[in-house]
Chains A and B, each alone.
Chain A
Amino acid sequence: MFDGGKRPLVEVEGLKMYFPITAGLFRAKVGDVKAVDDVTFTIYEGETLGLVGESGCGKSTCGRAILRLYEPTAGSVTIDGEDVLAAPPSELRAMRPKMQMVFQDPQASLNPRMTVAGIIGEPLDEHTTLTKPQKLARIYELMDKVGLNRDFANRYPHEFSGGQRQRIGIARALALNPRFIVCDEPIAALDVSIQAQVVNLLEELQDSLGLTYLFISHDLSMVRHIADRVAVMYLGRIVELATRDALYEAPLHPYTQALLSAVPEPDPNAESTRQRIILKGDVPSPANPPKGCNFCTRCPKVMDLCRSVEPEFREVAPGHFTACHLHNQTAG
């Protein structure tokens, strides 16, 4: 649905992020933690791509690697036509205003010794040549935009509640008029009643400023609300990518099916009759992923083929991608 009129803003191609495991006196490399292993996707202008998965699946690492907060092992990332991974440091710095990030823990990602005005104004100091009054005007404008009272500009982060702190983090991300924002679990640390406030704010900002989001979360119900398309990650790989409705109504990959069926529903009548797919066991270590398909150790529909051959990530219906042998033949 988005392939038609919209143009791709972020293109990720074969992205790999390996962290070396070292051992012994000379820190010899003995292996890799394959946190992100060959991930390819596109985010179109003005849309929200949801990236979901369980803890340790590599979704946050993926978000950070796209912004080159890590140095990825391989692959390419193009944001608005510019190659992010190949750029030398000075060029990368010039690209930074276009791509920003909202972090998970608003407590840890705000400097406790800086005032709100200082925090929101810091990107302006770094990247613009605004005069002091211009800067203050911009800070006030941003505080209005995210629903913070201007009078609080000289307060410190600890004086705010979790939801308000997250608004400060969002204002900082907006300071330089970015095109693309990576939201890394922006609501995970907040209470249920506050989550909705922050999600609504993000949606309003997207409409008024034409932002593009990569929304990383483990909360499947919130992703269903905010995302236009959704990618599901498992053990460093994307196992399924589709439009929101296709993914939630007709998931193809057995992992997506299990993940969706595991979410409890606040409705006692539905809960008493619902059949859950209970996965056995835990996620294998990304340092030593199983041979063949990553999910073969827990998959309820595992076949012999899955234990030896890695499934290809391919389009099985228009705009619906999955990496599963069950859907390879049908697509052909």
Chain B
Amino acid sequence: MREEAQPVLEVTNLKTIFRTRGGEVHAVNSVSFDLKPGELLGVVGESGSGKSVTMMSLIGLLPSPPAEVRDGRVMFDGLDLLKCTPAQLRAVRGPGVGFIFQDPMTSLNPVFTVGYQLREPLMKHMGMTKAQAQVRAQELLELVGIPDAGRRLKDFPHQFSGGMRQRVMIAIALACDPKVLIADEPTTALDVTIQAQILELVKDLRQKLGMAIIWITHDLGVIAGIADRIMVMYGGQIVEHGTVKEVFAKPRHPYTRALLQTVPSVRGERAEKLNVIEGQPPILRAAPAACPFRDRCSLRFSACDAANPARYDVGPGHDAACFWDFDANAPRKEVTEKAHV
């Protein structure tokens, strides 16, 4: 439906490494994706799969050293963000790309009032006077559903509950009307009833403001409820990508399939025994020469050890990085042909 629209954000071949004492860690390996205007893209993966590092690389939020963005292109608004100067990037953060961090306790400054922290981006980026910013700050708090907003502006972060603090974080991210909002596990630290409140809020704000959102989470249930498209990451790369309906109905990567099966449900059938993904996620000491999931995969065969699978098209707007063809229930033709040459 939004196929014809130009993407607001286009990431090609992004590679990020960390230099550590134990050697390099390849956290993000050749990640490419785009984001259409007004779309909500869900990014799913376990801790260490590279989902947060990918998003922080985009807008230069990783400390360097140890981090280093080695390769890639991030096009936003006609600008390659990876080639921008720090000053240019500062201008993009806020009005261009807003960021909501995972932990609302540590990402708000405890010594400033919430009002101060909300006014700061408004005065810096939008050129508002303090009085104007004050008015707008109150509107923003009202927008995210904080009661008694005018008085609450004078409060410090510790005077808010977890859910309320996360609302403040959202308000700050929305302050400059960003075109793209990146939300990094915004509800993971919250209880389910508060998470439900925040999800409703985001659905509501999306309709009102029409921004594009990247939503990082490890909870497939959250994605099912709010996202248009989903991107599954494993071992620093995208292993499956497609519309939410496609991917949940026809997962085409063994990791996605396993992930969908390991999560027990509160409704529906109750399994006697949980399905298990044996083993551990990989530590990426080098750029992977083979499939990163092969050690934990039940379908592993010779090709998986020989090369890292590319992202093959498996349906309309749906691709998966796996040598196994689930429709034919056999190895992909591309692989078998190559083996014969």
- Among candidates B47, B161, B193, B264, residue contacting A221 with C-beta atoms closer than 8 Å: B264
Q: In whole angstroms, what is the CA distance A192 to B276 when docked?
A: 10
Q: Given the interface contacts A262-B195, A265-B224, does A163 sit within 8 Å of B245 by beta carbon? A: no
B46 within 8 A of A: yes
Chain B residues near A196 (CB-CB < 8 A):
262, 274-277
Chain A residues near B280 (CB-CB < 8 A):
161, 163, 194
- The answer to whether B161 and A282 have CB atoms under 8 Å apart is yes
Q: Given the interface contacts A197-B276, A259-B192, A264-B224, does A192 sit within 8 Å of B244 by beta carbon? A: no
Chain A residues near B260 (CB-CB < 8 A):
266
What residue of chain A has the Cβ atom nearest to residue B278's Cβ? A197
- The answer to whether B191 and A218 have CB atoms under 8 Å apart is yes
In A210-264, the 8 Å CB interface with B consists of 218, 220-222, 224-225, 248, 258-264
Q: Given the interface contacts A264-B221, A271-B224, A278-B196, does A193 sit within 8 Å of B262 by beta carbon? A: yes
Q: In whole angstroms, what is the CA distance A65 to B268 when docked?
A: 35
- Among candidates A161, A192, A263, residue contacting B266 with C-beta atoms closer than 8 Å: A263
B208 within 8 A of A: no
- The answer to whether B161 and A265 have CB atoms under 8 Å apart is no
Least Cβ–Cβ distance between A147 and chain B, in angstroms: 10
Chain B residues near A54 (CB-CB < 8 A):
191-194
What residue of chain A has the Cβ atom nearest to residue B275's Cβ? A196
Chain A residues near B262 (CB-CB < 8 A):
192-193, 195-196
What residue of chain B has the Cβ atom nearest to residue A164's Cβ? B280
Chain A residues near B196 (CB-CB < 8 A):
261-262, 264, 276, 278-279
Q: Mark B217-248, 1 if CB is under 8 A from A, else 0.
A: 01111111100000000000000000011001
Interface of A, secondary structure class, is helix
B302 within 8 A of A: no
B199 within 8 A of A: yes
Q: Given the interface contacts A55-B191, A196-B277, A197-B278, does A221 sit within 8 Å of B266 by beta carbon? A: yes
Chain A residues near B194 (CB-CB < 8 A):
54, 282
Chain A residues near B271 (CB-CB < 8 A):
225
Q: In whole angstroms, what is the CA distance A326 to B273 when docked?
A: 36
Least Cβ–Cβ distance between B187 and chain A, in angstroms: 10
Q: In whole angstroms, what is the CA distance A269 to B163 when docked?
A: 27
- The answer to whether B197 and A268 have CB atoms under 8 Å apart is no
- The answer to whether A282 and B266 have CB atoms under 8 Å apart is no
- The answer to whether B274 and A265 have CB atoms under 8 Å apart is no
Chain B residues near A262 (CB-CB < 8 A):
192-193, 195-196
Chain A residues near B245 (CB-CB < 8 A):
268-269
Q: In whole angstroms, what is the CA distance A195 to B218 when docked?
A: 13
B53 within 8 A of A: no
B142 within 8 A of A: no
Least Cβ–Cβ distance between B279 and chain A, in angstroms: 9
Chain B residues near A267 (CB-CB < 8 A):
224, 248
Chain B residues near A163 (CB-CB < 8 A):
280
What residue of chain A has the Cβ atom nearest to residue B195's Cβ? A262
In A180-196, the 8 Å CB interface with B consists of 191-196
Q: In whole angstroms, what is the CA distance A194 to B274 when docked?
A: 11
Least Cβ–Cβ distance between B211 and chain A, in angstroms: 21
A128 within 8 A of B: no
Q: Mark A68-79, 1 if CB is under 8 A from B, else 0.
A: 000000000000
What residue of chain A has the Cβ atom nearest to residue B161's Cβ? A282
Q: In whole angstroms, what is the CA distance A222 to B263 when docked?
A: 8
What residue of chain A has the Cβ atom nearest to residue B145's Cβ? A280
A11 within 8 A of B: no
What residue of chain B has the Cβ atom nearest to residue A56's Cβ? B191
Q: In whole angstroms, what is the CA distance A16 to B109 when docked?
A: 37
- The answer to whether B264 and A192 have CB atoms under 8 Å apart is no
B265 within 8 A of A: yes
B214 within 8 A of A: no
Q: Given the interface contacts A265-B267, A268-B248, does A276 sit within 8 Å of B200 by beta carbon? A: yes
Ordered by A's residue number, 19 sampled pairs between the chains whose C-beta atoms are within 8 Å are A54-B194, A191-B46, A193-B296, A196-B274, A197-B276, A203-B273, A218-B192, A221-B263, A248-B266, A260-B266, A263-B221, A264-B222, A264-B224, A264-B225, A265-B221, A266-B260, A268-B224, A270-B267, A278-B200
18 A-B pairs besides A193-B262, A195-B262 with CB distance below 8 A are A191-B47, A193-B258, A193-B259, A196-B277, A225-B271, A264-B195, A264-B199, A264-B224, A266-B220, A266-B263, A267-B248, A268-B245, A268-B248, A269-B245, A271-B221, A278-B193, A278-B196, A279-B193
Residues of A within 8 A of B (CB): 54-55, 161, 163, 191-197, 199-200, 203, 218, 220-222, 224-225, 248, 258-272, 276, 278-279, 282-283
8 cross-chain pairs, A with B, having the tightest CB-CB distances, nearest first: A264-B221, A54-B191, A266-B220, A262-B196, A271-B225, A193-B277, A196-B274, A225-B264
